[in-house]
Amino acid sequence: MDLPRSFTIRESGHRLLNPFTTEKLAILGEALRIEPGTAVLDLACGKGELLCTWARDHGVRGTGVDISSVFTAAARERAAELGVADRVAFVHGDASGHVADEPVGIAACVGATWIGGGLDGTVELLRRSLAPGGLMLVGEPYWRRRPEDAATVAACHMGDESDLYDLPGLVARFGELDCDVVEMVLADQDSWDRYVAAQWLNVRRWLDANPGDELAGEMREELRTAPVQHVRYQREYLGWGVFALMNR
């Protein structure tokens, strides 16, 4: 059970595995007015930047779960680097069925709602770990602009236009799931650039170091096509944000 190597190659130089900058992650933490000692569960936690920096900055404690052994190892290294390894733990495993042993004050899935089969299922999964009055954090893409054709949809890695809401539709859907939206921090085009464009340098350096690898052809083709695809489609049509929810 692990992610394909292509994911870890693309994101080898990243701390945040979403189109979110460290500054925006810090803004989110400040906006939520987190109490020291708050327990956090972060499903599909990636390299653990949310848990590690919030443990340092806000005194949270908690657990991150991710299917990538490479990412969870990086998360443990980050916790040690920031001096918070006694407050956070990282589990290599399938987040799709993970429920906290004890209710938590913050249950998060930032950018990986496929673990619950989509947005609705992920909100229900987070609810299973949430203490009364707690916060759910959901990171989710949306249509910044409605795509005009199937080529745009495909270039944004969607099967159909209906796979995503626009921003008003997404916020309305949270309400239909019986949630109050109590905060949000949205990515912008620069956030997308810092996430996606940084992958190109990771891929190129990996190709230079591994020209004979069995993935070299696939990654070379990706590097050839990804920059144009991003500037033509993804940065124009895709939005992304983290939404803080409370049960009604």
Q: Could you read off the pLDDT of 38-73 as tens digits, one per residue?
A: 999 999 999 999 999 999 999 999 999 999 999 999
pTM: 0.96
Domain spans, the chain: 5-244
Residues 6+ apart with CB under 8 A from 133: 246
CATH of domain 5-244: 3.40.50.150
Q: Are 52 and 77 in contact (CB under 8 A)?
A: no
Residue 111: what pLDDT? 94
pLDDT digits (tens, 9 = 90+) for 211-235: 999 999 999 999 999 999 999 999 9
Quick one: average pLDDT of 154-170? 95
pLDDT digits (tens, 9 = 90+) for 66-121: 999 999 999 999 999 999 999 999 999 999 989 999 999 999 999 999 999 999 99
Residue 1: what pLDDT? 72
- Residue type at position 147: P
pLDDT digits (tens, 9 = 90+) for 144-158: 999 999 999 999 999
Residue 3: what pLDDT? 87
- For residue 228 the two structure tokens come to 């144009």
Residue 169: what pLDDT? 98
Q: Residue 224 half-sphere exposure, CB side, CA atoms within 13 Å?
A: 6
Residue 100: what pLDDT? 97
Residue 5: what pLDDT? 95
Question: 101 versus 3: which is more confidently predicted?
Answer: 101
